[in-house]
Each structure stands twice: as C-alpha cells, then as structure tokens.
A and B are shown apart, each in its own frame.
Chain A
Amino acid sequence: MAQSVFGRQLNSFISARRLKTSSLRRGRLIASWLFPLPAILVVAVMLAYPVGYTVWLSLHDLSPFNLENPEWIGTENYAALLKDTRFHAALERTAYFTLGALALQVALGLGMALLFNHNFVGRGVVRTLFLLPMVATPVAMSLIWMLILNPVDGVANWILETLGLPPQLWLNSADSVLPTLILMDTWQWSPLVMLMILAGMTALPHEPFEAAAIDGASWWQSFRFLMLPMLRPTIMVALMFRSIDCLKTFDIIYGTTQGGPGFASETLNLYIYKTGFDYFRLGYAAAALVVFFTLVLSVSLLLIILRRRTEAAA
C-alpha cells in the first residue's frame, strides 16, 4: 500500500520531469528560431534578395528607360564583358592595388609590431594614437590627402624638396596614381595589421625563445625560424581581412581621382559604379558585379582554407 503510493508519486514525478524536459526541448526549438528570426529576415531581404536579383539582372538588359520591363538577353552581358578592354584593365588595376597594398601593409605592420613588442615610455599612448587612421572618415581624409599631395603647393612636395628629393605628381599622373593610393591605404590600415600581429606576438610562449637564446641563436635566427612560423596564422588572418577590403576599395579612390587621371585608377569597384550609376547600364553592371563578388568570395574562401591549413600545421 505504502509502496504503491510511493510508486505513484515516483511515477508522477518522473512524468512531470519528462513533461518538463520535453517542454524545455520544445521551448528550446522555438527559441532557437525566434531569437535569430529578425536577423534572418534582414539577411533575406537586405542581402540574399539583392544578390539573387543581381544574378537575375545580369541576364537582362535594363536601363532607367525600361525599368518596368527588363529584356531577357541570356549571357550576352557576360560575352560583352569578355571583350571589354576597360573591364580587363580595371581587373588588372584591382590586382595591382591589392597586391601592392597587401605587401606594403604586412611588411610595415610586421616591422611596427616588432618595435611595439618592446617596452618604451609612452607605448600605450602611441598605440592608442595608431587607432586614429583606421577610424578617420576615409572620404574626408582623402580630401585632406589631395591638399597635402597637391603637386603645385602641397606640403608633401615641400617636404621632399627640403630633403633634397625630386617633387612628385602623386595623384595627378597616370604613373604614380596607383602607388599613391596604395600609400594612402597603407596609412589608414597598416596600424590595424600591426595591432593584429602584435596581439599574436604577445600571445606567443616564451620558452622556445629562451631556449634558442641559450643555444646561441642570433636575433635574426630566432625571428626567422621561431617567431615568423609561429605568427603564420595571425598573418594569414590579417591577409584575409586586408585582401577582402583592398579588393573592394572605393572611398579613397572616388574621393580623390574618381578613377582618373584618364582611367589610370579605375579599379573594378569604380568601373562597376560608373557603369551602373553614371551610365545607367544596369544589366551590364550587374554582370560585372557577379564577376566581382565571385572573385572576392573566392579569394576569401581560398584564404580561409589556407589559414585552416597553417593552423593545422601549427
């Protein structure tokens, strides 16, 4: 008798628990959908739909004159892109700008991180000040750069002349415009690369370096054979972020040259912008866009895979 009451109680306790866990599980399922629902909607409406629409649009002829009834032309836009020399030149300039900026920023960032890895008076303050270029409104800074780099009365040429160096045409010559833009991008972003690498350096273990010092390794040997391989994953992350953004650079180019002089600084982003919003060849711009974002996505995917590999190796 007593046992069966206890048994009943036990049974009801167990079923209550079961009920509780199942309702918990259902609550969990609902929560796991409800919490991200607004974000899913934003992504669907603001990001997925436009990308799908761009792909659809790239197979059509569309201008403001036939906004209501775009004409299906199949892959004609893509065929035209293959023959478009201005598009090819823009592609080359994008590669040149990206590779140049990456090389300079990683080299400078690594060098600066080595400097900042030492203790010195005012280290914290200088480190904080180095945050300023990356948050200063790029288009405003590009206008300031135009004044500084003005070939006639800019302060940059005055400094060069004072040092006994020849003045430059900077943004005003087809030969020097891309290197100058790379320099501007380096000014803005190499501090970020430096801070990323510095964070990686700070996290490195001390023991291997102490062991190397005891074994009589030179500074260069311990940098080249210890630090650099251990920093590989960090440098890969920096490369990933910088290459994604360099490929897409717009503000500092449009803010200064708008692609000029001539087409000398017209990168892919600029070319697509002009095709779409200046010439209103919307379908053609969409086809160029599909090529552009496929390129950016492939490069980032490649770097993500490479990074996984360096991490697995390390």
Chain B
Amino acid sequence: MRSQNPRRERAVWKRSLFYLALTLLTLFFLFPIIWMAMASFKTQVDNLATPPVVLFEPTLENYRETFIRNPFPRYTWNSFVVAAASTAIGVVVGAPAAFSIARYRQRGLAVVILAARIMPAISYLLPWYILFLRLKMVGTYESLIATHLTVGLPIITWMLIGAFEELPAELEDSTLVDGGSILTVFLRVALPLSAPTIAAASIIAFIFSWNNFLFSIILAGAATRPLPVAVFNFVSYLNINVGGLAAAATVITGIPMLLALLAQRYIVSGLTMGAVKG
C-alpha cells in the first residue's frame, strides 16, 4: 500500500506543475490585452491607483473622449479604406499570379514575390517617399494603398499557391476537355474551390495592412492618417490620459484580434507564407 503512494504523489505533483506552468504562460500572454481592456473602462483615478484596482465601476467616458471629442472615427475610416482597397487589389493581382505559378510551375516568380516579404520595408519606403514627393502624392490614399499592397500581395499569393496546388488536376483537365478555356478553369473551378483560403488570405492581408505603421507614418497626411499613426500621436498630447489611450488601443487591436478568430485555422499558415500548415 505504501509502495503505491509515492508514484501517485509524483503524478499529482507533475500534474500540478503542468497546470501551474500553463496558467503562468496564459497569464503572461493575455495580461497586456486584459490590462488594456480594463484600463479602457476605468476612470483616470482608478487607472492611477496603486495597488491597481481590479473591481471598479466601468465607465464609457474614455470611449466618448476618444471617439467623440477626437477624430478617431475618421482615422478608423482611413484605416479601413486603405486596408480594404489594398487587400482587394491584392486578391485581384495575386490570385491569377498564384494560379499561374501553381499550374505552370513558375518558381522564379514565386521566389521574387517571397523576396518582397524578406526585404526590409524601409528599403522601398525611401525611394517611394522621394517618388511620391516629386509626384506630390505624399498624404494621398493612393500612396498608402499602393505601399500597403506590397504587404498583402506576398501573403495572398503564397497562401493561394498552396491552395491551387492542392486542387486535383483531373478537375481542371476535365473542364479543358469539355471545351472550357484556361480562364474558365480559373474562374469556375480554381477560384470557387479555393474560396475559404481566399477569404482567410484576405483577412490576414487586411490585418497586416491595418497594423502597418512604418509606411503610414511617412506617407499619410492629416486627412488620410490611419489608426496606428493616430494613436501614436495621441500619446504625445494626451500623455497622462491612460484610459483614453487604452480605449483607442482596445479598438485598434480589437478589430484584427476579432478578424484573426474568424480565420484562426489559417493564421499560422498565413504568417509563414504557407510553410507551416496550422
């Protein structure tokens, strides 16, 4: 009887250690997000209290401050326009390219598009900035959409290469034998069958455009400023308004986080250009 106890004791120990590690890790990865969301509903007094207040009366004042007394709806719209337009163009340009790469084995083109993902973005930004200065295009939606396109295009193309390569060749061949053109194969067979991947790739491209900071901080103007730049500027003149900043950050990060939940099975594959199937 006694000889069985130590073994069971060890199993219990192992199990508790396992859950302790798991809890600590989960706390670490969720803490900043939870802290941010809580701060966005706290008054300034509660936000500055030490020790931190956990139970508090939630207020919407911070959201009112951010979205009614500051032009955050405008910035949100700007972010949406740039992300949606660059993603849509990314699909229109990337899908046929991915189809052709998958079908005609154009490895060279695939590698060039991958290189766009590897190169530091700032190496495009400097020449674009000079070019857009000359064309008097700094501060326009067009300049933002064009630059954000280079963020989404590699993601969309590489995710779709994977999807198109997985389509059974017989399906495409039978359409050709029945007299359909290669365009019919693309539009009527390849695209509809890859709809889930196209949706997921669009979501991921949208998220990365939404989150982009470097292109926007240089190329956006007062009228076209997207959220990441706006929230960055927000800090400098409302330095101490913790709740207002938290409310803005909650909304900015909340949208990509919700979108990621929609495409959760594809996120890892999207972030690794299809190298890992999540």
A interface residues, Cβ below 8 angstroms from B: 24, 27-28, 31-32, 34-36, 38-40, 42-43, 46-47, 49-51, 53-54, 57, 62, 64, 67, 112, 115, 118, 120, 126, 128-141, 143-148, 153, 155, 158, 162, 187, 191-192, 195-196, 199-200, 234, 237, 241, 244, 247-248, 250-251, 254-255, 269, 272-273, 276-277, 282, 285-286, 289, 292-293, 296-297, 300
Of residues 217 to 254 in B, which have CB atoms within 8 Å of A's CB atoms?
217-218, 227-228, 231-232, 235, 242, 245-246, 248-249, 252-253
Inter-chain contact B93/A47, CB cutoff 8 Å: no
* CB–CB B119/A241 < 8 A: no
Q: Does B257 lie within 8 Å of A135, measured CB to CB?
A: yes
Give Cα A57–Cα B39 distance, bound, in whole angstroms.
47
Q: Are the CB atoms of B272 and A237 closer together than 8 Å?
A: yes
Selected A-B contacts with CB under 8 Å, 11 pairs: A28-B104, A38-B93, A126-B22, A126-B26, A130-B29, A131-B261, A199-B276, A269-B122, A272-B122, A272-B126, A282-B130
B67 at the interface (CB under 8 A from A): no
Q: Is the CB of A42 within 8 A of B104?
A: no
**When chains A and B are docked, how far (Å) is the Cα of A292 from the Cα of B120?**
8
A196, B272: Cβ atoms closer than 8 Å:
yes
What's the minimum C-beta distance from A125 to chain B, rounded to whole angstroms?
10
Residue among B30, B51, B112, B150 making CB contact with A129, cutoff 8 Å: B30
Q: Once the chains bind, are A43 and B112 in contact (CB under 8 Å)?
A: yes
Chain A proximity of B260: nearest CB distance (Å): 4
**Interface-located stretch among B4-12, B70-78, B94-102:** B94-102
Residues of A within 8 A of B121 (CB): 248, 250
Interface residues, chain B, with chain A CB atoms under 8 Å away: 18-19, 21-22, 25-26, 28-30, 32-33, 35-36, 39, 48, 50-52, 92-94, 96-97, 99-101, 103-104, 106, 109, 112-113, 115-116, 118-124, 126-131, 133-134, 146-147, 149-150, 153, 157, 176, 181-183, 186, 207, 210-211, 213-214, 217-218, 227-228, 231-232, 235, 242, 245-246, 248-249, 252-253, 256-257, 259-261, 264, 267-268, 271-272, 275-278
With A38-B92, A135-B267, A199-B278 as contacts: A293 and B123 at CB distance below 8 Å: yes
User: Which of chain B's residues have a CB closer than 8 A to the CB of A34?
Assistant: 96
Chain A residues with CB under 8 A of B228: 137, 139-140, 251
A-B CB pair tally, cutoff 8 Å: 252
Which residues of chain B are near A53, meaning CB under 8 Å? 127, 130-131
- Please determine whether A192 and B271 come into contact, CB atoms closer than 8 angstroms: yes
CA distance A162 to B52 in the complex (A): 12
CB of B32 within 8 A of CB of A54, answer no
List chain B residues, Cβ under 8 A from A39.
Answer: 93-94, 96-97, 109, 113, 153, 157
Residue among B18, B92, B124, B129 with most chain A CB within 10 A: B124
* Chain B residues, Cβ within 8 Å of A133: 29, 32-33
B83 → chain A, closest Cβ, in Å? 11
**Contacts A39-B93, A196-B276 supplied; 9 other A-B pairs, CB < 8 Å:** A31-B182, A46-B150, A129-B29, A135-B207, A139-B232, A144-B32, A191-B29, A192-B272, A195-B276
Closest to B130 in A: A282
Residues of chain A with a CB closer than 8 A to B28's CB: 187
- The CA of A15 and the CA of B207, in the complex, are separated in Å by 54
Contacts of A254 in B (CB 8 A): 213-214, 217
Which of B19, B52, B118, B235 has the most chain A CB atoms inside 10 A of its CB?
B118
Expressed in whole angstroms, the minimum distance between the Cβ of B103 and any Cβ of chain A is 8
A196-B276, A292-B120 known; A32 vs B100 contact (CB < 8 Å): yes
What are the residues of chain A within 8 A of B146 when measuring CB–CB? 46
| A67: B residues at CB distance < 8 A | 130, 133-134
User: Which single residue of chain A is at the shortest CB-CB distance from B134?
Assistant: A67
Docked pose: A155 CA to B120 CA in angstroms = 34
Residues A140 and B252 in contact in the complex (CB < 8 Å), given A38-B96, A132-B33? yes
Among A120, A145, A148, A187, contact of B22 (Cβ-Cβ < 8 Å): A120
Specify which of A144, A187, A241 is in contact with B249 (CB 8 Å cutoff).
Answer: A144
CB-CB nearest in chain A for B146: A46
Task: Determine whether the beta carbon of B48 is less than 8 Å from that of A153.
Answer: yes
With A32-B106, A143-B235, A254-B213 as known contacts, state yes or no: A115 contacts B22, CB within 8 Å. Answer: yes
Q: How many whole Å from A47's CB to the nearest CB in chain B?
A: 5
Do the beta carbons of A42 and B276 come within 8 Å of each other? no
Our pick among A135, A139, A300 for the contact of B231 (Cβ within 8 Å) is A139
Q: Is the CB of A54 within 8 A of B127?
A: yes
Residue of B nearest to A297 (CB): B118
Interfacial chain B residues near A187, Cβ < 8 Å: 28-29, 32
Given A131-B264, A140-B248, answer yes or no on A47-B119 (Cβ-Cβ < 8 Å).
Answer: yes
Known: A50-B127, A135-B211, A286-B126. A140 touches B249 (CB 8 A): yes
CB neighbours of B50 from chain A (8 A): 153, 158
In the complex the two chains form, is A115's CB within 8 Å of B18's CB? yes
Residue of B35, B96, B123, B176 near A54 (CB, 8 A) is B123
**Distance in Å: Cβ of B156 to nearest Cβ of chain A:** 10
